[in-house]
A and B are shown apart, each in its own frame.
Chain A
């Protein structure tokens, strides 16, 4: 589908800037939240920075190092960008009884602010879009980008996933039991025998094109589905592998979005059971927490594993550290309904 040439990631772990990446050390959550480590944003002009909400800062901060490569379009997936500003604006509407209101938070409340601020900052007048389909927002952004590359084989694009911890997810998603009621550290996330996960946030950006030369990874294929039935999900995974892997090829690493929610374990067990003993199973949500576009963090991790040929021990669930990682399968699951599989490979 496409080749990944450069990536950045602002996350709750030491992932930014590139020279300081350290995935072995695990930062701990507090109050069931894994908050992104704020890089300071010195390069964003003060008059732009002062108006930006957290999602926009995360997105801009992560995009900045990739902007000099002059991508021909900006494609962002985000479920909740602008939600916090929406809530602030609502508070104003209520406090001032629909009187004279300050428009700043309303302008920032629309989720396309991330993509449009990147374009404003860099003067990028190319393709610009924001996909907001919850747990499939980043997947649709990737699919869009894959189509763009097929349509314009010579172009390079910037594609990313961004979401923040906000009042909305922490109250509304909690009322719906998507976050744990008891205090759980990310270090013990997978031991908890209870519903819900811990909240997370972050921004991961990818500079991609159709050119294999000097690429860090190949994004081979993507499939998405909606189901509450683990057998249907595992069946799709089997179909996807049969469709994508040639005879003799194997998945070296299955990277799953297991998130400590005991209601969702059945999906991960079903998918893991398809794998033979050759496949190492690893997890990533204890690093980034749960958020709708967490699959963008997973893709960033996959690129790290493929380029460095190394996997931190704390990520491993089953199997062992491998000598070589060629084919990685990412399985993510959002709220037990939206599922995605992404196949990423080492450049041969």
Chain B
């Protein structure tokens, strides 16, 4: 089976419009979560969000998009995928080749336009320009037609682990010889739909989230897009190599639709599965980008699962304290951060942490530092018990 390397990364989040800007913000410990008043929601200005401060119209102008029916989610995906493609220097002929695949993930898709969707679905209008934009596959279809992709195209939705699974699927396409290069990642934009959904579950904190802190009060939603270019080892001549994707594990917690089991079977099995597929011993993982949403349930269960698997877990933290929880994009942006850890041999401070959770005693890394790293792990766990862990290794 071919090895899988990361040769390009593109991303946009509340802490930066490019990979480089994101790294600078992480190094400076910048938190992009704010109580702004831009969102079309009653909770805007009251609840904190990890919002990207470029409005949809500006994004359209930046990318010279004139088509009606293009949503914010599509534009964020376009923005990040363009950077990734340019970063990996994929040529037009490579993009359109039969062995180039596109695997995207999203949870809101076109429902970022909730009010328009609701009007169209109830036939209160003759139909807005967005009729083709609501289905889950709409963002991927948009990218496919822009880049004229001829290989395998897919959209995955496993809630908050969606884009970790998109990266895993992309890597497996390469390992199985079904693609030579894959554009894999995910996107979600802030939506009245998800804001009210998570709020109805009492999972949104009214303050900035404090992952792994004893007094954590919940998560903050954010928006982001990130894409990785994955390539097989034959494609690498003269290319910049960020990292090798060496392991992945996918497991279901089989416990509850919206919370994790006490002992964290799903997270434990996903992390363990990733180690097994990479052929690594647990001692070889140098850092974990934890799922760390800041909810009572996730952080305690994830801590317990890390203790169960590692005994003495490696350094870890959650970059959701910088970006908020970006749902369908979180697996991909955190994979990108885990790769930055490796390429620059540095780890970033987890923010807003004060006291460890009683019973686990685990403390996330709270100072940015240089460190020698060979392998990093990125965790993503979602509603429906869908847990996925990825392992990246120094190229």
The answer to whether any beta carbons of A and B sit under 8 Å apart in the complex is yes
Residue positions of A touching B, CB distance < 8 A: 74, 79-80, 86-87, 89-91, 93-94, 97-98, 100-103, 106-113, 115-117, 119-120, 122-134, 136-137, 140, 143-144, 147, 150-151, 167-168, 171-172, 175-176, 224-226
A129 touches B121 (CB 8 A): no
Report Cα–Cα, A112/B388, bound state, in Å: 14
Report Cα–Cα, A106/B384, bound state, in Å: 12
Q: Which 5 A-B pairs have the closest CB atoms?
A: A116-B384, A106-B197, A128-B252, A103-B200, A134-B137
**Interface size class, chain B:** 35 or more
- 7 A-B pairs whose Cβ atoms sit less than 8 Å apart in the complex: A87-B121, A89-B193, A91-B118, A93-B196, A128-B385, A134-B135, A175-B131
B150 touches A115 (CB 8 A): no
A125 touches B127 (CB 8 A): no
B196 touches A128 (CB 8 A): no
A101-B257 in contact given A116-B252, A124-B252, A128-B385 (Cβ < 8 Å): no
Provide the residues of chain A in CB contact with B269, threshold 8 Å.
125
B197 touches A144 (CB 8 A): no
B254 touches A120 (CB 8 A): yes
Which B23-58 residues sit within 8 Å CB-CB of chain A? 41-43
B192 touches A98 (CB 8 A): yes
Which B133-156 residues sit within 8 Å CB-CB of chain A? 134-137, 140-141, 144, 149-150, 152-156
A175 touches B127 (CB 8 A): yes
Provide the residues of chain A in CB contact with B144, threshold 8 Å.
226
B131 touches A172 (CB 8 A): yes
Q: A116-B257, A129-B156, A136-B137 are in contact. List 12 more A-B contacts (CB 8 A).
A: A90-B114, A100-B200, A102-B200, A109-B197, A110-B157, A115-B252, A124-B252, A128-B386, A129-B165, A130-B156, A134-B135, A147-B176
Partner of A225, one of B118, B131, B150, B157: B150
Any chain A CB within 8 A of the CB of B71?
no
B383 touches A86 (CB 8 A): no
A168 touches B121 (CB 8 A): yes
Any chain A CB within 8 A of the CB of B251?
yes
Which B164-193 residues sit within 8 Å CB-CB of chain A? 165, 169, 172-173, 176, 178, 192-193
A93-B193 in contact given A112-B159, A127-B251, A175-B126 (Cβ < 8 Å): yes
A115 touches B199 (CB 8 A): no
Provide the residues of chain B in CB contact with A120, threshold 8 Å.
252, 254-257, 385
Main SS at interface, chain B: mixed
Shortest distance between the CB of B80 and any CB in chain A (Å): 19
Report Cα–Cα, A106/B197, bound state, in Å: 6
Shortest distance between the CB of A88 and any CB in chain B (Å): 11
Closest to A141 in B: B154
Closest to A144 in B: B169
Shortest distance between the CB of A121 and any CB in chain B (Å): 9
Residue positions of B touching A, CB distance < 8 A: 41-43, 107, 111, 114-115, 117-118, 120-123, 126-127, 131-132, 134-137, 140-141, 144, 149-150, 152-159, 165, 169, 172-173, 176, 178, 192-193, 195-197, 199-201, 250-258, 265-266, 269, 382-386
Closest to B256 in A: A120
Provide the residues of chain A in CB contact with B195, threshold 8 Å.
98
Provide the residues of chain A in CB contact with B169, threshold 8 Å.
129, 144
Closest to A86 in B: B111
Shortest distance between the CB of B140 and any CB in chain A (Å): 6
Closest to A103 in B: B200
Closest to A74 in B: B252
Provide the residues of chain B in CB contact with A74, threshold 8 Å.
252
Provide the residues of chain A in CB contact with B126, threshold 8 Å.
175
Report Cα–Cα, A292/B196, bound state, in Å: 29
Provide the residues of chain A in CB contact with B252, threshold 8 Å.
74, 115-116, 119-120, 124-128
A128 touches B201 (CB 8 A): no
Report Cα–Cα, A112/B122, bound state, in Å: 25
Shortest distance between the CB of B144 and any CB in chain A (Å): 6
A130-B122 in contact given A120-B254, A123-B254 (Cβ < 8 Å): no
Q: Which one of B114, B131, B159, B257 has the greatest number of beta carbons of chain A within 10 Å?
A: B257
B123 touches A175 (CB 8 A): yes
Q: Which one of B144, B172, B200 has the greatest number of beta carbons of chain A within 10 Å?
A: B200
Shortest distance between the CB of B99 and any CB in chain A (Å): 13
Report Cα–Cα, A292/B31, bound state, in Å: 41
Closest to A120 in B: B254
Provide the residues of chain A in CB contact with B131, threshold 8 Å.
172, 175-176
B199 touches A224 (CB 8 A): no
Shortest distance between the CB of B135 and any CB in chain A (Å): 6
A115 touches B250 (CB 8 A): no
Partner of A94, one of B118, B134, B158, B251: B118
Report Cα–Cα, A176/B107, bound state, in Å: 23
A129-B158 in contact given A79-B136, A134-B141, A176-B131 (Cβ < 8 Å): yes
Partner of A90, one of B107, B118, B157, B384: B118
Shortest distance between the CB of B55 and any CB in chain A (Å): 21
A103-B154 in contact given A93-B196, A124-B254, A125-B251 (Cβ < 8 Å): no
Provide the residues of chain A in CB contact with B384, threshold 8 Å.
110, 112-113, 115-117, 128
B250 touches A129 (CB 8 A): yes
Shortest distance between the CB of A292 and any CB in chain B (Å): 8
Closest to A113 in B: B384
Provide the residues of chain A in CB contact with B192, threshold 8 Å.
93, 98
Report Cα–Cα, A226/B153, bound state, in Å: 9
Provide the residues of chain A in CB contact with B123, threshold 8 Å.
171, 175
Provide the residues of chain B in CB contact with A123, threshold 8 Å.
254
B140 touches A133 (CB 8 A): yes
B200 touches A172 (CB 8 A): no
Report Cα–Cα, A120/B131, bound state, in Å: 34
Shortest distance between the CB of B217 and any CB in chain A (Å): 18
Partner of A112, one of B120, B178, B386: B386
Shortest distance between the CB of B124 and any CB in chain A (Å): 10
